[in-house]
Amino acid sequence: MTVSGSAAAPGPGPSLALAAMYALTIVGFPLVSTVPVLFGFDSQAATVPYRAGVAALVLGIVFGWWVRGERILFSWPVRLTLVLWLLLVARMFYDTLVNPLPGDFGMPVEQILLLSLGASLLPALVFLETPSAATLDLARRAIEVLGVVTLLLILYLGLRGVFDGRVLRRLATAVLNPISVGHLGVSVFIVALCGPAGSKFLAKVFRWLLILTSVVVIVASASRGPILAALMVAVVYSFVRRRRRSLALSVLLFRLALLAAVIAAVVLAINYLEEEGYISLIERFSETLEDVAAQERIAMATGAWTQFTEHPLFGSAFVELRYYTYPHNIVLESLMATGVVGGGLLLANLAATILASIRLISASPSVAWIGFIFLQYVVNGMVSGSLYLDGAFWAYGFGALVVARSLEPAAA
């Protein structure tokens, strides 16, 4: 294995392992987590073997780098990100093992370390390998297929509760929270939206049904972050597509109106079900800043900012000390945990990865979905995410950097 400031040229054939990582990062855990809920057994009987399988896949990919002498991306944005990781991990180890904080984290320390290192940070490193066009196409199709299965299973579990007489307030499962459900819907929405323009009729019908299903799931999750991310993606995609294909303004407006009609139809259907007493979602949006969750997040943000101002250089703790959890904003979290040093490194990472994502979105749909998914998780990071737990943020950030570098003439 070697490292380089420039990514290796994409190969012609697909890498099944790397394509699997692109897909599993988005769909894997949500899909696996529905199985124990569906059949009524302990969730860890499914999720622990899944985590172990992903870890084995990561080790296999890294071993393959060493066998093939693979060159991975090691540009300055990547190096600065790894320095940020070092600061974050050092803070976490200090607060849990060296000088443990006195409060209750809500889970065992070993589980915190496993989720942050084993399930979030380390798996993201495999995205430093440059994927071929065939690998990305395989990954996108895998997200479509596995995504529709997962969305339908989640909808079934939600509707099963309605049929049993329970009122559906937010679409979720016993393992997967509403925010995760909503963001799964957004990611599937993105890959369906970025499907090949020259697809056959049946493939286009499948993608439109997938878009409709994902919109239903996003709205039914009643999560503000995913809904905001989906709207951002839809608007940006419409304008980028118009510029790329020189579409008339009237065509663009028609497509935006069509999308608005789909959303309106979903909202009307939800309103009808709410009036009939099957679900209760509208209150979630009508009291955006008044519900308990919103008030708690405001308190967490205030606490994180206070901790930073009291320890501005290297930070205070890896959790907000009133609630003993992350403050649901990655910028505040970086300042709280690692001070201005880590906060500056995160801003540098965001600048590089957002610019890379914009370049992918402007290039072609075959790579645009990577940029869109990363921007989706930037939105998530600003309203409910965590640097320690959001593996998709780090993975697709590296993916955006690598694929954008592969588009440069010197890397061809």
* pLDDT tens digits along 197-208: 666 778 888 888
CA 31 to chain centre: 15
pLDDT above 90 for 40: no
CA–CA gap between residue 339 and residue 359 (Å, rounded): 30
> Burial code of 66-95, b = ≥16 C-beta within 10 A, e = fewer?
eeeebbbbbbebbebbeebbebbbebbeeb
Q: Can you tell me which residue has the tokens 């790397």?
A: 18
Residue from 204, 201, 222 nearest 212 by CA: 204
Largest Cα span, the chain: 63
| pLDDT tens for each residue of 297-321 | 889 999 999 999 999 999 999 999 9
Does residue 383 surpass a pLDDT of 70?
yes
Contact 134, 12 (CB under 8 A): yes
Sequence-distant (≥ 6) Cβ neighbours of residue 329 within 8 angstroms: 301, 304, 381, 382, 383, 385
| Torsions phi, psi for 74 (to 5 deg) | -140, 50
How does DSSP classify residue 279?
B
The amino acid at residue 346 is L
The residue with greater pLDDT, 124 or 2, is 124
Residue 71: predicted pLDDT: 86
Token representation of residue 66: 């060493």
Residue 409: CA count within 13 A, CB half-sphere: 0
Instruction: Identify which has the larger pLDDT, 285 or 370.
Output: 370
Q: What is the pLDDT of residues 247-287, one digit of tens each?
A: 566 666 776 677 677 677 767 776 766 666 555 566 655 55
